[in-house]
Structure formats: C-alpha cells, structure tokens
Amino acid sequence: MLRKTIQIIIGISFALLFLSCSEKQSNYYTIKGEVHGTYYTITYGAETDCLVRESLDSVFHAFDASLSTFVPTSIISRVNVNDSTVKLDSLFITVFEKGQYVSRETNGAFDMTVAPLVNVWGFGFKKSDSVTPEMIDSLKQYTGYQKVKLVDGKVLKEHPNIMLDGSAIAKGYSCDIVARYLRSIGLSNYMIEIGGEIVTSGVNSKGTLWHIGITRPDENNSFVQPDIQTVISLSNCGLATSGNYRQFYYKDGKRYSHTVNPATGYPVEHNLLSASVVAPDCMTADAFATAFMVMGLDSAYAYASTHPELAALFIYSDDNGQMQVKYTDSFAKYIQ
C-alpha cells in the first residue's frame, strides 16, 4: 500500500508517569527504523530504555516471512505459486480471515485477490505492462474473494492463477503485532506508527491522549512538512488512512490512482481523496480504509455511519473542486 498520509504530531520529552511494567515513575523513549519497505516510529514509556531493536527485528522478520509478497519464500508468496507443501501460520490465517470478513461486509470493495489487477496497473509487486480492456477482462476471471477459501489449513483457489496481496491490511496488522509484543514485556503507554498506520495505548509523555495529525490531501505536499487537516486524540485503538493523492501516475494525459476497483478492474475515479478510520485494532482500520476508497464517499459514509465500531473521516473534493471534510458521528469524539 502506498505510504500513508498521516504525520504524527507528538512531542517526545521526558515525563513522570506510571506504567504497568513498573510501578516506578518512568521516562519516554523513541525508536525508529525501516521495515516492510517503509519506516516505523515507536514511542513508549518505561522506567528504562528497555525496548531492544533486535527483538523488534525478530517480530518484523516473522511477519515478513508470513505476509510479504516481496519475499519469495514467504507463506503468501508460496501460496501464490501454488506450493502444496506450504504450511500456513497464525499470522497468515488471521489476515486472510479478516480480509474475507471485510470483503463480505463491503461487497468486495476490499479484496485480497485484486493482486493481478494492481500489478498490471503498476502498483503491486510485479511490473506493469501496457494495459488494454482485453487484458483487464482476462485478469478479472482470476479475481474475486469468493474464489478463495480456507479449508483444513489450506488455501483453496478456483484457479491456480489467483494471487493474494495483503498490502492493504498487513501493515495495520503489523502494528497490532508490535503492540502485542510491547504488552507482553509490560508496556502499556505507547504509540506505534508503521508507514502511516498507527496503534496507540495509554497516554503520551504529557499524560494526555496521543495527538495524531491527519494530513490535508495535496499531491504537492512534502512528506517532511505536510499540511495538517485535522488533529485527533486517541488511545487504545488503531488508525489507518488511505488516499489516492500520493501514489499515482500520468499516462497519455490521464491520471491513474493506486486504488483499483476489484469489480471493474480499473483505478477508481471519484471525488474521495482520503479515508481515515479508527477501529479497535489497526488491521480492521487498514482494511476498511482501503475499502472506503473503493466505495466512494456516499457508500463509504453510509456504511460507516451504521457501524459505530468504525469511526471514519473523509476528505473529498466538492463540485467546485474545493476540499471538504465529512465524518461520522462516532468520529466526532476524537477531534480536538
């Protein structure tokens, strides 16, 4: 998935707070690095600087070994080439089952089998070719979440050319896995950000909820100094944002966004610029943010409004080309 468009607004300073891992007063620390083809930042409170990079690397390595399509020996890569000897692990099964759930809920707007179409448009894990309507029609026979299922620990496909791509859900789950690791070592106050996907727990160094800035969609914005559209306060939840204004290209004067509609096989063409979703976990937020970008403003807002467990904020372009914001009632409580 494209590098997401959230800039973390957080002051990293020392504070005196209580943590579950220690009843003593603690400081806040930050660790940064590269993973999954993007960057991560983890800020946490602890009595000492106890988070070891090597331990995190082990968590990330296990994740990539399961779900990275850029690792030829990963479980998902072996499933894609129909390796009958591959054994699925809990990471793969969790993402697959969540993906199928979101696909059913959104009538296929989210679909992990969209990989061949994403690839042919040049946004996946293979290089694109010259795209023709005939090519799209031929690839659509290999897409559709109903054409894959999990039976007795195996992925069954209706056709061997069907491929899976977890990039629209996996980074969110990676945040959840890191959060699970931090809890296992006794940390309860932390913020995890991987490529724009976020999980928060407890409080920040000032003893308040974590403050997160949602970037104003603008393809000319700098990643270093983006314009902030909205600042929200979060704790004990996941946040994901998907947008079409960072990853795109022009060909023959036409703009092609990275979000491909599984139903049509073509990049979406509507006025929704970005969708931000808050959910109990980041994997769920990630998948629904992607689905909402496929569905478009009206359908996405209607769905999110009837599912209060999902809080959603949409930034869109109105009929006059002006940027507007619309959010569900459940999202209002997060806005500062």
What string of pLDDT tens digits covers the 336 residues of the chain? 433 433 333 332 222 233 334 434 479 999 999 998 899 999 999 988 888 888 999 999 999 999 999 999 999 999 999 999 999 999 999 999 999 999 999 999 999 999 888 777 665 545 555 778 888 888 899 999 999 999 999 999 999 999 999 989 999 999 999 999 999 999 999 999 999 999 999 999 999 999 999 987 765 544 444 577 789 999 999 999 998 655 443 344 444 456 888 888 888 888 898 999 999 999 999 999 999 999 999 999 999 999 999 999 999 988 888 889 999 999 999 997
Query: Does residue 51 fall inside a structural domain?
Result: no
Query: Does residue 232 fall inside a structural domain?
Result: no
**pLDDT score of 334:** 96
Query: Does residue 281 fall inside a structural domain?
Result: no
Q: What angle do CA 40, 233, 43 make, to 5 degrees?
A: 30
Question: Residue 150: in which H helix or E strand, if any?
Answer: strand 148-151
Q: Does the predicted TM-score (pTM) go above 0.95?
A: no
CA atoms of 72 and 91, how far apart (whole Å): 17
Query: Does residue 31 fall inside a structural domain?
Result: no
Name residue 281's amino acid: D
- Report the DSSP pairing between strands 323-327 and 311-317: antiparallel
Q: What is the DSSP letter of 235?
A: -
Instruction: Write the CB contacts of 141 (distance below 8 Å, at least 6 apart in sequence).
Output: 159
Query: Does residue 309 fall inside a structural domain?
Result: no
**pLDDT score of 279:** 98
Question: Residue 27: in which H helix or E strand, if any?
Answer: strand 22-35
Which residue is it, tokens 């690397």? Answer: 57
Q: How far is CA 233 from the centre of its chain?
A: 19
**pLDDT score of 129:** 54
Query: Does residue 151 fall inside a structural domain?
Result: yes
Q: For 202-247, what is each residue's pLDDT tens digit?
A: 999 999 999 999 987 765 544 444 577 789 999 999 999 998 655 4
**pLDDT score of 17:** 30
CATH number at residue 110: 1.10.3980.10
Domain count, the chain: 1
**pLDDT score of 174:** 97
Give the domain range for residue 116.
61-157
Instruction: Write the CB contacts of 237 (distance below 8 Å, at least 6 apart in sequence).
Output: 199, 200, 278, 279, 280, 281, 285
Q: For 247-298, what is each residue's pLDDT tens digit?
A: 443 344 444 456 888 888 888 888 898 999 999 999 999 999 999 999 999 9
CA atoms of 76 and 73, how far apart (whole Å): 8
CA atoms of 66 and 40, how far apart (whole Å): 19
